[in-house]
Amino acid sequence: MSSNDSQGKVAVITGAGMGFGREFALLAARRGMRLVLADIQRDALNATLVDVQELGAEAVTQVVDVADGDQVEALAVTAQQRYGVVHTVFNNAGVGCGGLIWENTRRDWEWTLGVNLWGVIHGVRAFVPRMLEAAQADPAYRGHVVNTASMAGLINPPLTGVYNASKHAVVSLSETLHHDLALVTQQVRCSVLCPYYVPTGIHASHRNRPASRANDRSATQSQRVAHAMIEKAVTSGKVSAADVARMTFEAIDEGRFYIVSHPQSLASVQQRAEDIAALRDPTDPLGARDGLRESLIESLRR
């Protein structure tokens, strides 16, 4: 779908209150798309709504916890009732969680997998069948699903095991979705977005953590170290969320599946693949960053 073809088309965006979701919404608005915006944070969602309306976009918002399948289904119903056919779905909402993997609590796992993985699962189940119905009814219809994963879905940095697991699952789900769609249609396609460290605010995602998923103990040393590492890496990122949004829409236009924000990081992906093929121990993907491994060891062992 080129920018010229976007006028009047409908995009659904989860996690639309900030980061990638907000930038997807702004770029879609500039392309003349009609928007269905969802986020768990009402004030951030309202701010995005104001911004896209100032750009002339027609939009509807809905507070949604993507970990809840009924809420995502309700979002699909809202989109269908308001606009009829949906053309682009961004399963984008995400949260972060760090620390030594055995120190993560069950609630850490439930919260992170609930948003990062189940949010995508619910989005695929709610929207893809409707998109296939639209394709069957109209030979000219074209649809696209974008699932936000991470470079952590292609490599496995230490101290982010829960997050890594959630994002690897999203990559696997998306690759399978690509193959499954190809069996039944050429009118609906999908992509997986694998950004690296980009200033999106994900390091502060705990601010929206539901009370039912909150931990009843203070953070461990490894969790504090992981949070500091991630915050520094995210906030110092040189590629912006707006840059990633532009890359994503270009990939949709060109029908590309893999979207990466930092192509240079693919060297670590290749290294991992070679380690697997050679049946050797995994190479530390942070090993090339001078002093980082030694700094982490010192922080964790003192």
Average pLDDT over the chain, rounded to whole?
A: 93
Confidence band (pLDDT; 50, 70, 90) for 288?
confident
Q: What is the per-residue pLDDT for 212?
A: 77
| pLDDT score recorded for residue 208 | 74
Give the mean pLDDT of 238-261: 96
User: What does each C-alpha distance from 171 to 31, 148, 154, 156 come to in angstroms?
Assistant: 28, 9, 8, 13
- Is pTM, for the whole model, over 0.85? yes
pLDDT band (50, 70, 90) for residue 203:
low
Whether the predicted pLDDT of 230 surpasses 60:
yes
pLDDT at 264: 93
Nearest Cα residue to 188 out of 94, 259, 124: 124
148-192: pLDDT as tens digits: 999 999 999 999 999 999 999 999 999 999 999 999 999 999 999
pLDDT classification of 216: cutoffs 50, 70, 90: confident
Question: CA-to-CA distance for 272 and 286, rounded, in angstroms?
Answer: 12
Q: Which of 147, 142, 45, 139 is nearest to 89 (CA)?
A: 147
- Residue that wins the pLDDT comparison between 91 and 201: 91
Model confidence pLDDT, tens digit, residues 55-83: 999 999 999 999 999 999 999 999 999 99
Sheet holding 88-91, edge to edge: 59-63, 34-39, 10-14, 88-91, 143-148, 188-194, 258-260
Domain extent listing, the chain: 3-263
State pLDDT tens for residues 95-152.
999 999 999 999 999 999 999 999 999 999 999 999 999 999 999 999 999 999 999 9
At residue 199, the pLDDT reads 77
pLDDT of the residue at 3 = 56
Instruction: Name the CATH superfamily for 3-263.
Output: NAD(P)-binding Rossmann-like Domain (3.40.50.720)
| Confidence at residue 235, expressed as pLDDT on a 0 to 100 scale | 85
Residue 2 pLDDT level (bands cut at 50, 70, 90): low
Query: What is the structure's pLDDT at 4?
Result: 60
Strand partners, 11: 35, 88
DSSP the chain: --GGG-TT-EEEEESTTSHHHHHHHHHHHHTT-EEEEEES-HHHHHHHHHHHHHTT--EEEEE--TT-HHHHHHHHHHHHHHHS---EEEE-------B-GGG--HHHHHHHHHHHTHHHHHHHHHHHHHHHHHHHH-TT--EEEEEE--GGGTS--TTBHHHHHHHHHHHHHHHHHHHHHHHH-SSEEEEEEE--S--SSGGGGGGG--GGG--SSPPPHHHHHHHHHHHHHHHT-SS-HHHHHHHHHHHHHHT-SEEES-GGGHHHHHHHHHHHHHT-PPPPTTTTSTTHHHHHHHHHH-
User: Is 202's pLDDT higher than 70?
Assistant: no
Helix axes 118-137, 161-184, angle to 10 degrees: 10
